[in-house]
């Protein structure tokens, strides 16, 4: 049985004070269920404050990106050691905003994934097609390329700390969610690919999250799909009530 992972990506929102308040509110909604985990990814400046706020709870604190080196001349980057030092234990990598707005390539993203894993962080690798790619029938090719390249050189035993987030670019922040069928199709394809690239049991144990306009109103049907193991939530994660409802999705 895979534990679900309900992740909030706060993007470039919240001062330290806002972040602590939001984390405290989220904690009030946190389940005692044994079948799910909660992850919060505040901006770098608030990682330490949020980690302190949630200490003693099971909430996982994550960065929104990570470098592969422990330290050095990498202006503007954050190292895996720094993430851990601030109280984080995970990193989101390859988010579509990094790919599209900051031109991060699969090669760079692969270095980040390997760096995160080398330093024992959980790596949340984001993949997803644009609308043009989907409409021109390229979706599966795009996902395959992003995953093959993103996970190149990752060892099977490291895969226990890898989570893939399928986030169709056209669904992020647009209010347009992939239908449960569209999401399930992509997730099943990703699991099959992981089983080809690694082993069947690696694929069966790996969590695949859906992201892109997840809301209280659509989380239940998405989470009811056999290959959807959680959600990566942007906008709705900034509101504790909404995120609380998402964490507490109903099983049918
Ligand atoms: P959204 O963002 O929920 O606001 O669509 C998701 C994400 O970017 O991870």
Q: Give the pLDDT of residue 239.
A: 98
Rounded-to-integer distance, Cα 131 and Cα 169, Å: 7
pLDDT band at 213 (very low <50, low <70, confident <90, very high): very high
Q: Give the pLDDT of residue 1.
A: 83
Rounded-to-integer distance, Cα 159 and Cα 21, Å: 34
pLDDT in tens, 188-210: 999 999 999 999 999 999 999 99
**Of the listed 95, 97, 104, 133, which one is catalytic?**
95
> What percentage of the chain exceeds 70 in pLDDT?
100
pLDDT in tens, 51-94: 999 999 999 999 999 999 999 999 999 999 999 999 999 999 99
- To the query of whether residue 187 is one of the catalytic residues in this protein, the response is no
Mean pLDDT of 8-13: 98
pLDDT band at 30 (very low <50, low <70, confident <90, very high): confident
Q: Closest residue (by CA) to atom 7 of ligand 1?
A: 234
Output the six-digit token pair for 135: 């409409």
Q: Tell me, yes or no, if the pTM score tops 0.85.
A: yes
Q: Give the pLDDT of residue 173.
A: 84
Rounded-to-integer distance, Cα 5 and Cα 37, Å: 5
Mean pLDDT of 1-20: 97
pLDDT in tens, 148-161: 999 999 999 999 99
Residue 33, φ and ψ in degrees, nearest 5? -60, 145
Rounded-to-integer distance, Cα 36 and Cα 249, Å: 10
Q: Give the pLDDT of residue 121.
A: 98
Residue 55, φ and ψ in degrees, nearest 5? -60, 145
How far is the centre of ligand 1, averaged over its atoms, from the C-alpha of 171 (Å)? 8
How far is the centre of ligand 1, averaged over its atoms, from the C-alpha of 127 (Å)? 13
Q: Give the pLDDT of residue 251.
A: 83
How far is the centre of ligand 1, averaged over its atoms, from the C-alpha of 10 (Å)? 9
Q: Is the pLDDT of residue 31 over 80?
A: no
């Amino acid at each position: 049985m895979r534990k679900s992972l309900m992740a909030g990506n706060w993007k470039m929102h919240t001062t330290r004070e806002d972040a602590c308040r939001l984390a405290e509110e989220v904690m009030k909604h946190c389940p005692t269920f044994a079948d799910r985990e909660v992850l919060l990814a505040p901006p770098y400046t608030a990682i330490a404050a949020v980690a302190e706020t949630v200490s003693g709870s099971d909430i996982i604190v994550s960065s929104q990106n990570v470098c592969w080196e422990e330290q050095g001349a990498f202006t503007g980057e954050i190292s895996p050691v720094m993430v851990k030092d601030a109280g984080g234990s995970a990193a989101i990598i390859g988010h579509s905003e990094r790919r599209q707005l900051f031109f991060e390539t699969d090669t760079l993203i692969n270095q980040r994934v390997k760096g995160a894993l080398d330093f024992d962080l959980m790596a949340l690798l984001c993949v997803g097609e644009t609308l043009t790619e989907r409409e021109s029938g390229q979706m599966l090719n795009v996902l395959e390329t992003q995953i093959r390249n993103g996970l190149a050189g990752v060892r099977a035993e490291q895969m226990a700390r890898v989570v893939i987030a399928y986030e169709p670019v056209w669904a992020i922040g647009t209010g347009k969610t992939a239908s449960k069928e569209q999401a399930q199709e992509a997730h099943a394809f990703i699991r099959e690919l992981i089983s080809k690239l690694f082993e069947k049991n690696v694929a069966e144990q790996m969590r695949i999250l859906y992201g892109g306009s997840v809301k209280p109103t659509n989380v239940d049907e998405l989470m009811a799909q056999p290959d959807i193991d959680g959600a990566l939530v942007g906008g709705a994660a900034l509101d504790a009530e909404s995120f609380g409802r998402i964490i507490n999705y109903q099983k049918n």
